[in-house]
């Protein structure tokens, strides 16, 4: 996922836990010494940060974490699971190919070692007043699209309006009204004027983070953002589509005429001539493909395979390297989520009882080899996670919700909700937990019948289908189903193929489904795609169909935060309320990237904290590759 600009919310989320493979094509900074000077109340700058100073100055030579002398060439190959039939990640139609945003860039970009800074990439500078009522982007004059045509302000305006009019519904629901006016001031200058009610912290991210596409290409091809596409949208990135075979492989190649190859934030990056993705029907087949040398880099998401299966000959002979790299980003809060539109799951007592039957401790010890940590927040492993009882600053935000009857008074005094800790010696929860879950269901009107099944007053059986796509998840879900069945719930695993899985998640055709909540260090208006009532009917992120007035009241508090202390306090309050509502069965996360690769790559000695940059800042070693081929290690 090479794009890391803050507006990634314009695309729908993927169906699996995201794995960072590389960073956005880098920002291009001009070497002026006067970019941060103020003139008549207007700032002219090469970048922007809501919190503190930018890490990199305008006259930087290259990013701290790259090898500026990294060689170019060769190929890296990875795997993907399932199928694809489109290269458009921004439409609800079709299943997009892996890495399908690899060819696009935006006006601003982020780095992998500055969590709050954004930097000019397609622009030279940006100008803005103290109140950020507007921003003028002064565009680079040397930026070209993949077909060699120049990028101008008309393309930027066209692209922004494209997302506003044809973007997915959940994005349009939150972006409408952010920008009051878009003005093309000249071939290489564009101005965005913001509505006064839009918080300052959110303003630059929308125009600055929107991918820029070729207006002429869209008009010539008739392509639409809301339709599937058999080709990449024409943009300015370092890679273009080389070849593909539906459901088998995709190959992207480095554009030899890429406009930004010699600019400071691109030096030492985009090092591979080709990036190949091999598709497999399931995880087992993908792992076997790796051991056979079908592809050369594997991001391992199975704890079972990581702990038990990396003893194949390639590893034993030293041809394959098994490594763990620290992950300093916000942990993905992987969870099962309930479909709150279904009446059975609207009672929090029922949801709590169902959640108590998932034995993470046993799963981690028996199935995961102790490699994971339990998800206890939507910002796990960071100082944005709510802990203990609320602070006075949090109470100031929570008290109005209590006064209006939107939250119980206990939220002001109780510690933040955490998942129950169960017995790790066996899958079945201990008797105390089992009795507590049974009591909750009894209170909710689901009583045990003579046949051992839970029924309501109308005689309807409490059923629960857990939608899944990967056979590797069976070993996790089946023990959970056993516990739910013992509780009297008619539960089952409903594993389907990839196309059905994608469509049923979209349409809300599930009781419980896997979901990954991927938050950032600077949460803002994008949270509405995850949690706002207005996105509940049609969202790839608000899969649980959450409609809660207390959450809706807190979201603006996060968006309006102007200091890091205010941001932390508001996120703590939101995190506390989300966890109290209890629409998830928290699963697990880990703070390392588990990666295996054939010993044919070089990499910087110190990788950046927010992204290991596997496809971006690593490079191909021709001599090592030839040695592997001579040893018969690769196909």
Mean pLDDT of 337-358: 98
Instruction: Write out pLDDT tens, residues 220-237.
Output: 999 999 999 999 999 999
pLDDT for 196 beyond 70: yes
Mean pLDDT of 598-614: 96
pLDDT for position 21: 38
pLDDT for 6 beyond 50: no
The Cα–Cα gap between 416 and 390 comes to: 8
pLDDT confidence bin for 424, thresholds 50/70/90: low
The encoded tokens of residue 602 equal 């070089």
Provide CB contacts within 8 A for 411, sequence distance 6+. 390, 398, 401, 402, 576, 577, 580
pLDDT confidence bin for 17, thresholds 50/70/90: very low
pTM of the model: 0.87
pLDDT for position 30: 29
Instruction: Write out pLDDT tens, residues 443-473.
Output: 999 999 999 999 999 999 999 999 999 888 9
The Cα–Cα gap between 237 and 250 comes to: 17
CATH architecture for residues 333-582: Roll (3.10)
Mean pLDDT of 357-374: 94
pLDDT for 83 beyond 80: yes
What kind and span of H or E run contains 289? helix 283-291
Provide CB contacts within 8 A for 428, sequence distance 6+. 359, 434, 482, 483, 486
What is the torsional sign of CA 171, 177, 179, 182?
positive
pLDDT for 326 beyond 90: yes
Instruction: Write out pLDDT tens, residues 291-317.
Output: 999 999 999 999 999 999 999 999 999
pLDDT for position 40: 55
pLDDT for position 282: 87
Give the rounded percent of residues in the chain with a pLDDT score beyond 90.
83
pLDDT for position 27: 31
pLDDT for position 413: 97
pLDDT for position 395: 98
pLDDT for position 199: 87
What kind and span of H or E run contains 418? none
The Cα–Cα gap between 33 and 101 comes to: 33
pLDDT for position 554: 98
Distance, first Cα to last Cα, the chain: 26
Provide the Cα torsion 146, 122, 100, 205; round to 10°. Answer: -160
The encoded tokens of residue 601 equal 């790559």
The encoded tokens of residue 302 equal 């199975």
pLDDT for position 372: 94
- Residues belonging to the chain: 635
pLDDT for 264 beyond 80: yes
pLDDT for position 22: 39
State CA 307 to chain mean position distance: 26
pLDDT for 25 beyond 70: no
pLDDT for position 540: 86
pLDDT for position 13: 35
Mean pLDDT of 41-70: 95
User: In whole numbers, what is the pLDDT of the chain averaged over residues?
Assistant: 91
The Cα–Cα gap between 127 and 137 comes to: 7
pLDDT for 245 beyond 70: yes
């Amino acid at each position: 996922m090479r794009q890391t600009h803050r507006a990634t919310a314009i695309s729908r989320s993927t169906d699996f836990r995201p794995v960072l493979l590389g960073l956005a094509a880098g920002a291009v900074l001009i070497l002026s010494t006067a970019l941060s000077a103020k003139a008549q109340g207007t700032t002219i700058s090469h970048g922007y940060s809501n919190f503190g100073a930018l890490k990199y100055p305008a006259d930087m030579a290259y990013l701290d974490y790259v090898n500026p002398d990294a060689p170019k060439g060769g190929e890296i190959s990875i795997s993907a699971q399932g199928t694809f039939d489109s290269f458009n990640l921004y439409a609800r139609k079709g299943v997009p190919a892996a890495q399908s945003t690899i060819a696009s860039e935006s006006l601003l970009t982020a780095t992998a070692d500055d969590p709050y800074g954004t930097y000019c990439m397609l622009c030279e500078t940006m100008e803005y007043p103290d109140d950020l009522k507007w921003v003028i982007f002064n565009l680079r004059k040397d930026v070209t699209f993949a077909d060699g045509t120049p990028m101008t302000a008309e393309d930027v305006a066209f692209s922004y309006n494209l997302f506003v009019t044809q973007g997915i519904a959940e994005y349009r629901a939150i972006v409408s009204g952010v920008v009051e006016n878009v003005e093309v001031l000249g071939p290489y200058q564009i101005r965005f004027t913001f509505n006064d009610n839009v918080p300052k912290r959110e303003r630059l991210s929308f125009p600055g983070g929107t991918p820029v596409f070729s207006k002429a290409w869209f008009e010539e091809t008739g392509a639409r953002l809301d339709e599937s596409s058999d080709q990449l949208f024409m943009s300015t990135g370092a890679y273009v589509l080389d070849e593909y075979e539906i459901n088998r492989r995709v190959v992207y190649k480095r554009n030899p005429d890429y406009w930004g190859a010699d600019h400071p934030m691109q030096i030492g990056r985009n090092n591979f001539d080709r990036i190949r993705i091999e598709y497999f029907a399931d995880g087992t087949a993908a792992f076997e493909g790796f051991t056979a040398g079908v592809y050369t880099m594997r991001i391992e998401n199975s704890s079972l395979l990581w702990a038990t299966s990396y003893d194949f000959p390639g590893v034993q002979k030293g041809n394959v390297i098994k490594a763990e790299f620290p992950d300093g980003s916000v942990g993905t809060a992987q969870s099962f989520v309930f479909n709150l539109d279904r009446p059975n799951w609207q009672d929090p007592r029922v949801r709590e009882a169902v959640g108590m039957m998932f034995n993470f401790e046993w799963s981690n010890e028996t199935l995961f080899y102790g490699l994971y940590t339990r998800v206890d927040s939507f910002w796990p492993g960071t100082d944005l996670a709510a802990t203990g009882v609320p602070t006075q600053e949090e109470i100031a935000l929570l008290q109005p919700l209590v006064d209006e009857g939107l939250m119980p008074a206990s939220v002001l005094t109780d510690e933040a909700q955490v998942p129950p800790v169960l017995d790790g010696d066996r899958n079945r929860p201990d008797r105390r937990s089992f009795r507590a879950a049974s009591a909750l269901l009894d209170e909710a009107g689901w009583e045990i019948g003579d046949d051992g099944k839970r029924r309501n007053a109308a005689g309807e059986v409490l059923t629960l289908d857990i939608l899944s796509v990967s056979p590797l998840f069976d070993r996790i879900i089946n023990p959970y189903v056993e516990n739910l069945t013992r509780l009297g719930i008619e539960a089952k695993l409903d594993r389907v193929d990839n196309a059905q899985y994608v469509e049923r998640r979209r349409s809300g055709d599930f009781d419980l489904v896997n979901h990954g909540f991927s938050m950032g260090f600077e949460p803002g208006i994008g949270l509405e795609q995850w949690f706002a009532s207005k996105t509940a009917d049609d969202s790839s992120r608000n899969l649980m169909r959450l409609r809660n007035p207390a959450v809706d009241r807190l979201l603006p508090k996060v968006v309006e935060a102007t200091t890091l202390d205010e941001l932390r306090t508001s996120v703590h309050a939101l995190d506390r309320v989300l966890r109290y509502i209890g629409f998830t069965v928290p699963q697990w996360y880990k703070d390392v990237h588990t990666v295996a690769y054939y010993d044919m790559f070089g990499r910087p000695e110190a990788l950046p904290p927010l992204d290991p940059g596997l496809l971006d800042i690593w490079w191909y070693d021709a001599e090592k590759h030839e040695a592997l081929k001579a040893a018969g290690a690769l196909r």
